[in-house]
């Protein structure tokens, strides 16, 4: 059987650049890198909504992006989520597509990105043990739907999703988890609800970035950005992201308002696609218009603007969805030389912050005064200390959250014949004790 890989993505995201599409791209590039021409290029099949596929410009850009990585793009429409029985229909339809693609392209390894993709793959390979299945688990899909969606724990769909989740984990030959907490979640499922499944190979691969500028490049970009934004000597706090409830937008604004009461010169920079909501939050918090800037910019220009800041915010509420998470935002912040004020809920990344001294860890309460105190300590550090901190941030992003840092794990999965060194991502002390 060939080692050619079929990458399976699901959810109308490959047509846009977000955290999910970045992770899919990193996985695809890693497979290409470690296989080193030993087999034909991987095929990336992405199940997208029909409405998304009708956007011809976005589709063409996505196709060009995938081809530039060295993969073969294949976009497939799915049934609308609001259609009755769409979950079951999409499960059957996507499984059929995967089954056909495996035979047409002579696939040997199928890499499922997320739960929906894993359902399709596990169904397609239920009686086919010749092909290996890799389940790239991005998070806790069912719990996320319960907390932030409308999935009822007592509904038939909930029970069906639970059964499908366990079957997908049971069929997988390799499971990739984004955090050590998520690994323990997976292991608990493997031994619960019936006879335990054979223990698959499990790898921890956090969300990483492909680019990593040098400290000199970051400093040069920082000087230009601060001049362009008119910050002069003002200490600047950054938030990069949207206004979804799980990102705690109101708490971030409240923390800055508390900071400003003791450090009136502080400035808040928010890069987001939801300018109106954040503007209203700042006004409600009593922050003067001259003390904040909320703007939107293309993804490729984010780093050149965000590096003007002196510290960044990554706050999360304490629930299972966030405890297992691995936000790409953390790697983005560090790559720009920004120390991160992070909630202890994100245990793996909080461990990196503590071990490498690249920010501050705050309690799960995210109390504004506590967050403000942590930010203030970073902002008021001596200039030479801040420069050293920025350099540590960039070094950490390169060593544990870069594309190169995940290649040993992908070699263990896709090229076990040539061997691989240990994964460079360390087990944070805090995560190991959780």
- pLDDT, residue 246, reads 80
Angstrom distance (rounded) from CA 105 to CA 40:
9
At residue 44, does pLDDT exceed 50? yes
CATH placement of domain 215-400: 3.40.50.2000
Q: Which residue has the higher pLDDT, 154 or 14?
A: 154
**What six digits make up the tokens of 80?**
């609308």
* Cα four-point dihedral sign 144, 74, 212, 411: positive
Query: Which region among 135-139, 211-215, 301-305, 353-357 has the lowest average model confidence (pLDDT)?
Result: 211-215
Q: Which residue has the tokens 């509904």?
A: 155
In angstroms, the CA 222 to CA 237 distance is 13
First-to-last CA distance in the chain? 41
CA 130-133-134 angle, 5° bins: 150
Bigger pLDDT: 192 or 292? 292
Check: CB of residue 247 under 8 Å from CB of residue 342: no
Q: Is 215-400 the same fold as 5-208+403-420?
A: yes
Helix (H) or strand (E) holding 110: strand 109-113
Q: Where are the domains of the chain?
A: 5-208+403-420, 215-400
| pLDDT confidence bin for 157, thresholds 50/70/90 | confident
Question: Could you tell me the pTM of the whole model?
Answer: 0.87
The DSSP secondary structure of 113-172, one letter per residue, reads ESHHHHHHHHHHTTT--SSEEEEEE-S-HHHHHHHHS---TTSHHHHHHHHHHHHHHHH-
Q: Which residues are within 8 A (CB) of 7 and not within 5 positions of it... i.e. 6 or more apart?
A: 24, 27, 28, 31, 42, 43, 44, 45, 71, 111, 113
Would residue 70 be called left, alpha or beta, if left means φ above 0 and alpha means ψ between -120 and 50 degrees? Answer: left
Spatial contact of 63 and 56, defined as CB atoms under 8 Å apart: no
Task: Look at residue 8 and tell me whether its pLDDT is greater than 60.
Answer: yes
Torsion of Cα atoms, 119 then 125 then 131 then 136, to 10° = 10
pLDDT of residue 428: 44
pLDDT at 145: 86
**How many beta carbons lie within 10 A of that of residue 166, not counting itself?**
17
Please give the Cα distance from 316 to 347 (Å, whole number).
11
Which tokens is 133 given? 């299945």
List pLDDT tens digits, range 332-375.
Answer: 999 999 999 999 999 999 999 999 999 999 999 999 999 999 99
The answer to whether the beta carbons of residues 112 and 94 sit under 8 Å apart is: no
Alpha carbon distance 271, 249 (integer Å)? 12
pLDDT of residue 232: 87
Asked whether the predicted pLDDT for residue 377 surpasses 50, the reply is: yes
Summarize pLDDT for 194-238 with one digit per residue, the tens. Answer: 666 667 889 999 988 876 678 899 999 999 999 999 998 899 999
All residues at 6 or more sequence positions from 21 whose CB lies less than 8 Å from its CB, including other chains: 9, 13, 14
pLDDT at 423 over 60: no
Check: CATH 3.40.50.2000 for 5-208+403-420? yes
Tokens 């970073």 found at: 378
């Amino acid at each position: 059987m060939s080692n050619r890989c079929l990458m399976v993505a699901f959810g109308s995201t490959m047509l846009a650049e977000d955290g999910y599409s970045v992770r899919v791209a990193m996985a695809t590039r890693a497979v290409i890198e470690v296989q080193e021409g030993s087999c034909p290029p991987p095929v990336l099949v992405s199940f997208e909504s029909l409405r998304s596929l009708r956007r011809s410009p976005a589709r063409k850009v996505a196709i060009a992006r995938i081809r530039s990585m060295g993969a073969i793009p294949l976009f497939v429409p799915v049934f609308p989520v609001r259609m009755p029985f769409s979950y079951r229909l999409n499960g059957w339809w996507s499984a059929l597509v995967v089954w056909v693609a495996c035979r047409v392209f002579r696939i040997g390894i199928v890499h499922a990105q997320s739960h929906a993709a894993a359902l399709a793959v596990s169904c397609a390979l239920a009686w086919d043990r010749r092909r290996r299945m890799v389940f790239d688990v991005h998070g806790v899909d069912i719990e996320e739907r319960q907390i932030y969606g409308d999935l009822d724990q007592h509904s038939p769909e909930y029970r069906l999703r639970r059964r499908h989740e366990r079957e997908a984990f049971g069929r997988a030959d390799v499971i990739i988890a984004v955090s050590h907490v998520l690994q323990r979640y997976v292991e608990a499922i493997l031994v619960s609800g019936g006879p335990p499944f054979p223990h698959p190979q499990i790898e921890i691969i956090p969300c990483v970035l492909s680019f990593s500028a040098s400290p000199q490049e970051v400093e040069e970009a920082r000087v230009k950005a601060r001049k362009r934004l008119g910050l002069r000597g003002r200490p600047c706090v950054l938030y990069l992201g949207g206004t979804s409830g799980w990102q705690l937008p109101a708490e971030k604004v409240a923390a800055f308002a508390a900071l400003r009461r003791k450090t009136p010169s502080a400035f808040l920079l928010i890069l987001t696609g939801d300018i109106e909501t954040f503007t209203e939050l700042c006004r409600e918090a009593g922050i003067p218009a001259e003390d904040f800037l909320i703007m939107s910019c293309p993804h490729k220009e984010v780093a050149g603007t965000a590096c003007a800041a002196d510290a960044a915010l990554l706050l999360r509420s304490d629930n299972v969805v966030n405890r297992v998470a691995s936000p790409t935002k953390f790697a983005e912040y560090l790559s720009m030389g920004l120390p991160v004020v992070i909630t202890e809920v994100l245990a793996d990344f909080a461990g990196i912050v503590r071990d490498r001294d690249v920010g501050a860890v705050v309690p799960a309460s995210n109390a504004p005064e506590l967050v403000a105190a942590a930010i203030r300590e970073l902002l008021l550090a001596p200039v030479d200390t801040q420069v050293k901190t920025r350099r540590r941030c960039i070094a950490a992003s390169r060593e544990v959250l870069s594309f190169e840092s995940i290649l040993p794990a992908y070699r263990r999965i896709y090229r076990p014949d040539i061997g691989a060194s240990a994964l460079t991502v360390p087990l944070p002390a805090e995560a190991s004790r959780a």
